[in-house]
C-alpha cells in the first residue's frame, strides 16, 4: 500500500481521465503528470499508487516514468529551469546563459540549489528555435534570453518564495 495519495482536486482529474481514455494504459502518462504537478517529482511511492489505481505492476509504471525525461525521479527545486542545449540555442548564446545561471544560482545542470528554490536541467530542443536562446521556467517558455532577462526571471522567482 502506497503512502502517496492524490489531492482531492487531482483525484477528480484522474477520474475524468479514466472516462476520456478507452484503454486504461493510456491514463498512465496523465496520471504520472498529475503526480509530478502535485509533488514536483515522481517518487517510488507515487509510482506504486499509480500502479494500484491502474491495475498495473509497479515495474510497469517505473518503466514508463524512467523512459520519459519529462518526469523528475528525485526531488528538485521549486523553480525548474530547463535550458535548451541544442544547436540554435547554442549558436545564439545559451552557453553564456548557462554560465550566468551557474554563477548566479551556484548550481550545475542536474543540481538543485541548497535553498531548494531552483533546479537546472539541460534539455534537448524545446521547439522554439526562432526564439533562441530560450529556456522553460516551470513549464513556461522564455525566448530571446539575455543576461538581464534571466536576472529578472530569477529575481521574480526569489521574490515569489
Instruction: For 78-132, write each residue's pLDDT tens digit.
Output: 999 999 999 999 999 999 999 999 999 999 999 999 999 999 999 988 999 999 9
Identify whether the C-beta of residue 45 lies closer than 8 Å to the C-beta of residue 84.
no
Domain locations in the chain? 8-67, 79-160
At 94 the pLDDT is: 94
Calculate helix-pair angle for 44-54, 28-39, nearest 10 degrees: 140
pLDDT higher than 80, residue 72: yes
pLDDT higher than 80, residue 36: yes
Q: Same CATH topology for 8-67 and 79-160?
A: no
pLDDT higher than 80, residue 56: yes
- For the domain made up of 8-67, the CATH class stated in words is mainly alpha
pLDDT higher than 90, residue 58: yes
At 70 the pLDDT is: 86
Position 160 confidence tier, pLDDT thresholds 50, 70, 90: confident
**Alpha carbon distance 79, 71 (integer Å):** 15
Q: 161 vs 28, which has greater pLDDT?
A: 28
Closest by CA to 117, choosing from 147, 74, 73, 156, is: 156
pLDDT higher than 70, residue 161: no
At 1 the pLDDT is: 64
Q: 106 vs 69, which has greater pLDDT?
A: 106
Q: Which residue do the cell numbers 521547439 mark?
A: 127
How far is CA 75 from each of CA 24, 42, 119, 132, rounded to the nearest angstrom?
A: 27, 8, 9, 28
Task: Decide if domain 79-160 falls under CATH 3.40.30.10.
Answer: yes
pLDDT higher than 70, residue 7: yes
Q: Which residues pair with 120 in a beta bridge?
A: 81
Amino acid at each position: 500500500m502506497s503512502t502517496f495519495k492524490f489531492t482531492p482536486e487531482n483525484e477528480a482529474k484522474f477520474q475524468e481521465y479514466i472516462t476520456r481514455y478507452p484503454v486504461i494504459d493510456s491514463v498512465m502518462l496523465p496520471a504520472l503528470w498529475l503526480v509530478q504537478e502535485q509533488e514536483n517529482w515522481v517518487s517510488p511511492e507515487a509510482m506504486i499508487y499509480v500502479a494500484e489505481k491502474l491495475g498495473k505492476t509497479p515495474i510497469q509504471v517505473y518503466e514508463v516514468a524512467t523512459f520519459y525525461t519529462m518526469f523528475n525521479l528525485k526531488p528538485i527545486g521549486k523553480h525548474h529551469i530547463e535550458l535548451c542545449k541544442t544547436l540554435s540555442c547554442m549558436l545564439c548564446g545559451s552557453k553564456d546563459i548557462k554560465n550566468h545561471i551557474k554563477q548566479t544560482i551556484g548550481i550545475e545542470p542536474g543540481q538543485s540549489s541548497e535553498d531548494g528554490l531552483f533546479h537546472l536541467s539541460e534539455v534537448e530542443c524545446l521547439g522554439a528555435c526562432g526564439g533562441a536562446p530560450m529556456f522553460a521556467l516551470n513549464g513556461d517558455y522564455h525566448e530571446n534570453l539575455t543576461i538581464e532577462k534571466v536576472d529578472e526571471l530569477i529575481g521574480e522567482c526569489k521574490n515569489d518564495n
